[in-house]
Chain A
Amino acid sequence: MEKLTVITGTGVPLRRSNVDTDQIIPAVFLKRVTKSGFEDALFYAWRRDPSFVLNQKEYSDGKVLVTGPDFGIGSSREHAVWALHDYGFRVIIAPRFADIFYGNTAKNGVLAAIMPMESIELLWKLLEEEPGRSITVDLQTRTVECADVTLPFQVDDYTCWRLMNGFDDIDLTLQHEADITAYEKMRAVKFPFKPKTLPAKHLPEEEVKSAREESIDWAGPLSARG
């Protein structure tokens, strides 16, 4: 995962609260098979509206989203963070985040920065008076700079440390590689009977032919026929 220390880029004011993950990315996109390429799905319904903030060219390369309280509520879909990340957002600033969404951001290299509502209002004002204005977010000092104001934000130490080092959960676990290898050695001795999927063992081969022979006409539900 890329390391986040200082992020500079276009700030986008999203004047909304309670943005749920269905609004961030609708369920129809969950049938996709990739983890990347969700940028077009981000805020799908709102993007149909020409006046939506991301449809204004000054904001279209947004990197820092500044939004209202309770961002990311609803379904636990990790796709919501994937969509924000794929669009280009690396930082979401809000007064409060939903738990699961908050956990998912750090897993995917996105900073969820917490700021009081007064700071959010001020940032909104600054970003709107000069659309396309850039914001600098510094994880070392835990501050946000916009125009000539500097504002502090909150992030927990563990998450901050992970983001600054670009550690994802897998990297962190792999730091315990020696423990895993030791466990595997012990496992091979203590539990030699545990099954392996390879090489594959089968029951005798049998040919599988399609089961149904006849097709049955379907007249519709009981209720429709009175």
Chain B
Amino acid sequence: MGTTLAEKVWADHLVRKGEQGAPDLIYIDLQLMHEVTSPQAFEGLRLAGRGLRRLDLTIATEDHNTPTVDIDQPIADKTSAKQISTLEHNCRDFGVRLHPLGDADQGIVHQVGPQLGLTQPGMTIVCGDSHTSTHGAFGALAFGIGTSEVEHVMATQTLSLKPFKTMAVNVEGTLPQGVSSKDIILAIIAKIGTGGGQGHVIEYRGSAIRALSMEARMTICNMSIEAGARAGMIAPDQTTFDYLQGRPHAPEGEMWDRAVEYWETLKTDDDAVFDKVVDLDANDLSPFVTWGTNPGQGLPINDTVPVPDKIADADKRRATTSALAYMGLKPGTPIKSIAVDTVFIGSCTNGRIEDLRAAAHIMKGNHKAKNIHRVLVVPASSRVRLQAEHEGLDKVFKEFGAEWRNAGCSMCLGMNADKMVPGERAISTSNRNFEGRQGKGSRTHLASPIVAAATAIRGTISSPADL
């Protein structure tokens, strides 16, 4: 019997097979770090008198707490400033490569790896951050880990793990006009639920996935965790190789050829069997927007929000009622009639150059609606920002009435100053619409960059087709 992509990558990293129910020991090719989940791990190393085993397989950046304005000024929030300065001290003391605020390569950790060419097919990649699944878009096995595990990788460059189960999500067909990869993943999560992928590595397959750019693939793998999965993967192909070639850390010359030869073997065998299989028809998809307080509570944009009384399942009815109450929505409200205060375009899900181009394309020559108080455009990394400025996208955003910001996680989780106030309603291109995620009492509708842009023009949730 053949093996799946995930199983192949696992096998290539097996240091030691666990005996009698003990976990396997797996080698880690790259550990990414940021300021929030690394301090206790460094402290643990210090207490044990250990160093990092492979500084050459480790890289750090600042993203969660960094301000997106006045980046040349000291950070006002004391706890944020402390976490950032702690990372800087730790990296200096232990010799870890760091891209701090103000450096052109600083940005959200899940953008920094790919843009430097450090994220490559067939690697194992970890980070103390659940959205590490993003890197699976390159055919890497990439997943988030806890603080003890961060320290474990620092000291040993390995992890003790039981193999994950495998799940295939097949998306066949052609996406209709105005439907993007964000809509694919929101539709998948709505279909399988926020626990649907639990314990599994999802492999996204099928013609609709193959047709996507690398950036669009990253959007999909990024949100695997919102379906409960440990990781998401897409087999590498010419699109992957083209994205990588010429990046600073991509192999060169003869090494490039050897790498590609290996990368081409990284695909699921025809006779491999997945533990679970889910099918989705791309032809049927339309723009998706969430109405509730978890990423699985999403619907096509032309739908109306659910009516609890019509839901038979008691648990689901309760969950729907409380989500609607938190979101301040009446049952049966058409999604398109919902007016928002704020538009947030950014995050490791949709803060890449393609996302900014797509949003700018819709915004160009328009102005934000009167009821929209702020449109925040936050590039995923400083490089993305510089690229957007070279292309003049910043001018389009400013003329539109949007705020053009510096790179970072920003309002995705509101750990820096970019927070919403209680009751404020946003359409966001990020990945989590949990209660209070974007600020205490914040109400979040997740959507794609073009839906967010169209909403900014009309003031109510809209798709470009409505303009």
Residues of A within 8 A of B (CB): 31-36, 76, 78, 82, 104, 107, 168-170, 172-174, 176, 179-180, 183-184, 187, 191-198, 200-203, 205-213, 216, 218-224
Asked whether A33 lies within 8 Å of B424 as measured between CB atoms, the reply is no
Which of A32, A174, A194, A203 has a CB less than 8 Å from the CB of B29? Answer: A194
B392 to chain A, nearest CB (A): 14
9 A-B pairs with CB atoms under 8 Å apart are: A33-B39, A34-B39, A82-B40, A170-B50, A176-B15, A195-B249, A201-B116, A218-B373, A221-B424
Which of B165-173, B273-281, B348-356, B401-409 faces chain A? B401-409
- List B47-79 residues whose CB lies under 8 Å from chain A: 47-48, 50, 55-59, 68-72, 79
Known contacts A78-B147, A195-B118; is-contact A169 B71 (Cβ 8 Å): no
Q: Which residues of B have CB within 8 Å of A192? A: 255, 258
Contact across chains for A197 and B97 when beta carbons are under 8 A apart: yes
In the complex, which residue of chain B has the Cβ closest to the Cβ of A182? B15
Q: Could you tell me the distance between the alpha carbons of A33 and B56 in the complex, rounded to whole angstroms? A: 24
Partner of B148, one of A169, A176, A183, A211: A169
Question: How far, in whole Å, are A193 and B256 apart by their CA atoms in the complex?
Answer: 7
Is A222 touching B44 in the complex (CB atoms < 8 A)? no
Which of B98-106, B189-197, B310-318 has 4 or more CB atoms under 8 Å from chain A? B98-106
Nearest 6 A-B pairs (CB), nearest first?
A33-B39, A221-B424, A201-B248, A35-B40, A193-B259, A193-B251
Q: Are B56 and A222 in contact (CB under 8 A)?
A: no
B interface: dominant SS: mixed
Q: Do the beta carbons of B120 and A194 come within 8 Å of each other?
A: yes
Residue in A82, A187, A211 with the greatest tally of chain B CB atoms within 10 Å: A211
Q: How many angstroms from the CA of A29 to the CA of B250 in the assembled complex?
A: 40
CA distance A176 to B29 in the complex (A): 18
Tell me whether B334 is interfacial, beta carbon within 8 Å: no
0/1 per residue, B89-131, Cβ < 8 Å to A?
0000000010000111110000000001110100100000000
Partner among A176, A195, A216, A218 whose Cβ is within 8 Å of the Cβ of B120? A195
**Smallest CB-CB separation from A82: which chain B residue?**
B40
- Once the chains bind, are B39 and A203 in contact (CB under 8 Å)? no
Across the interface, do B259 and A222 meet the contact criterion of CB distance under 8 Å? no
Identify the B interface with A (CB < 8 A).
12, 15-16, 25, 27, 29-30, 39-41, 43-44, 47-48, 50, 55-59, 68-72, 79, 82-83, 86, 97, 102-106, 116-118, 120, 123, 146-148, 151-152, 155-158, 160, 248-251, 255-256, 258-259, 262, 328, 339-341, 371, 373-374, 382-383, 385-386, 394, 398, 403-406, 420-425
Known interface pairs A203-B248, A219-B373; A36-B146 also in contact (CB < 8 Å)? no
CA distance A192 to B256 in the complex (A): 10
Question: Contact at B40–A197, with CB atoms within 8 Å?
Answer: no
Tell me if A212 and B404 are in contact (CB < 8 A).
Answer: yes
CA distance A23 to B72 in the complex (A): 40
* Chain A residues, CB < 8 A from B56: 196-198
Contact of A212 among B16, B57, B83, B405 (CB under 8 A): B405
Distance between B26 CB and nearest chain A CB, rounded to angstroms: 10
Question: Chain A residues with Cβ under 8 A from B40's Cβ?
Answer: 33-35, 78, 82
Min CB distance, B370 to chain A, in Å?
11
Partner of A210, one of B55, B57, B72, B394: B72
Question: Given A31-B79, A197-B58, do A179 and B423 touch, yes or no (CB 8 Å)?
Answer: no
**Are B104 and A206 in touch, CB under 8 angstroms?**
yes
| Minimum C-beta distance from B159 to chain A (A) | 9
- Name the CB-closest residue of A to B95: A198
Q: Is the CB of B25 within 8 A of A173?
A: yes
Are B39 and A169 closer than 8 Å at their CB atoms? Answer: no
Neighbouring A residues of B158 by C-beta, 8 Å: 173, 180
**A197 B152 Cβ-Cβ under 8 A:** no
Q: B258, B405, B425: which contacts A211 (Cβ < 8 A)? A: B405
Residues from chain A with a CB closer than 8 A to the CB of B406 are: 208, 210-212
With contact pairs A170-B155, A192-B258, A196-B57 given, residues A78 and B146 touching in the complex (Cβ less than 8 Å): yes
In-complex Cβ contact of A33 among B68, B83, B251, B423 (8 A): B83
Contact between chains at B104 and A205 (CB < 8 Å): yes
**B139 CB to nearest chain A CB (Å):** 13
Residues of A with C-beta under 8 A to B251: 193, 195
Asked if A201 meets B27 with Cβ closer than 8 Å, knowing A221-B424, A222-B341, the reply is: no
Query: Is there contact, CB below 8 Å, between B27 and A187?
Result: yes
Please report the C-alpha to C-alpha distance between residue A200 and residue B97 in the assembled complex, in whole angstroms: 8
Write the nearest CB–CB distance from B12 to chain A, whole angstroms.
8
A208-B104, A208-B382, A218-B373 are known; give 10 further A-B pairs, CB within 8 A.
A32-B39, A35-B47, A174-B155, A179-B15, A180-B157, A183-B27, A210-B70, A218-B374, A220-B424, A221-B420
